[in-house]
Amino acid sequence: MLINIVSSIGLSMWLRMLILAFLCLMLSIPALAHGVAQGDASFIETAIGVQLLPFIYLGAKHMVTGYDHLLFLIGVIFFLYRLKEVSLYVTLFALGHSTTLLFGVLSGTEINAWLVDAIIGLSVVYKALDNLNAYPQWFGFQPDARFAVLIFGFFHGFGLATKLQDFSLSEDGLIPNILAFNVGVEIGQLLALTGILILMNLWRRTASFNRHAVWANGALMTAGFVLMGYQLTGYWITI
């Protein structure tokens, strides 16, 4: 049914794929909720000693299935055409979330998970508005996108840390396992980014990219607001 709805809009094939993915995401938010699968949770709870490969796998899986992180990355690279620029922004994002992921878990620093994930939703909204050139028009200045990506990277890292803090992690092998999880996150980010760049580059070669770039960023902004609303609602229900 979703395919028929998207096809009826009459957009290019690549834009249809993005719209379909977006619709599936919005319909599955309550089920996904950026959590950890039951089997993975059971392993994390019972893991004792150094378990490098499993934690690398779990880190990669968490990033690849973390729709909020992926939406932000889509926004970040949307208008980046040179590999040098892509590498710079992705490195800043990786530096940010790696720092707070490791710091949050190893130091025991806790932040309300609902609020952190709401800020992650805000990061998606921010980047979509940035892509729409909204800030110079609304406020008369352009925020430094590099600084913003780094700062939001810190919050994305805390978002990852809150998921691990939900579990009673064994002190035996904790540091190497968390480092392995972080390596897995970076591998997952690289794999996800590769797929996103392939689709984006294919879409950019079509005439529909310039016609529908504004619409696509509007959809991205909407997704960010939905994520924010979902997380803030969860926060108010649980306090």
Calculate mean pLDDT across residues 81-86. Answer: 89
Query: Is position 147 within any domain?
Result: yes
- What pLDDT shows up at residue 16? 52
Asked whether residue 99 is domain-assigned, the answer is yes
CA distances from 229 to 22, 29, 65, 144, 226 (A): 17, 11, 20, 26, 5
Whole-number pLDDT of residue 65: 83
Global model pTM greater than 0.85: no
Length of the chain measured in residues: 239
Tell me, yes or no, whether 34 lies in a domain: no
Containing domain of residue 204, as a range? 51-238
Q: Is the pLDDT of residue 6 over 70?
A: no
The whole-number average pLDDT for the span 146-154 is: 94
Query: Are 70 and 171 spatial neighbours (Cβ–Cβ below 8 Å)?
Result: no
Q: Is the confidence at residue 27, as pLDDT, over 80?
A: no
CB 218 within 8 A of CB 78: no
Q: What angle do CA 31, 32, 36 make, to 5 degrees?
A: 120
Per-residue confidence band for 228, with pLDDT thresholds at 50, 70 and 90: very high
Number of domains into which the chain is organized: 1
Per DSSP, the residues of 168-224 read: ---STTHHHHHHHHHHHHHHHHHHHHHHHHHHHHHHHTSTHHHHHHHHHHHHHHHHH
